[in-house]
Amino acid sequence: MNDIIEQLQEMSEAVPVPLELATFEQIVEVEEEILIPLPMELKEYLLYASDVICGSLEPVTASDPNSHTYLSEVAAYAWSIGLPREFVPICQQGDNFFFIGQEGQIQLWQDGEIDEEESWESFWEWAEDVWMRS
């Protein structure tokens, strides 16, 4: 995990208005808004790497409720178009979502279905295989 966070930080692009890392309180607030506990690796990402901007993908954030990547809003939309409620979206691509289950496995939901062929054992594996290469 730490190696991947370091790689992400090295790859992060400088932008005029940088993202901020989420605080523990903001993560608790998001959990209260969506009524689901966040898996540990998602919390780790939000606390230590959610300020990274790299590649073409924009994973969810928890520090700015007005952001288009704010986890509560992304989740509300994903669930409204059919993503099963027990899953938490981690990244939106149009109407497709990478999501995390409570055990930490990442999968892709696209065209209204879970893609059984696309799966990663952890958030950090997904970050390395998908996000960093986007």
Single pTM value for the model:
0.95
Higher pLDDT, 129 or 17: 129
Q: How far is CA 39 from the centre of its chain?
A: 11
Can you tell me which residue has the tokens 């990442």? 106
pLDDT digits (tens, 9 = 90+) for 88-122: 999 999 999 999 999 999 999 999 999 999 999 99
Q: Is-contact 131 59, C-beta < 8 A?
A: yes
* Whether pLDDT at 18 is above 90: no
- As a whole number, the mean pLDDT across the chain is 96
Instruction: Enter the DSSP assignment of 55.
Output: S
DSSP reduced 3-state for 28: helix
Average pLDDT (118-133) is 97
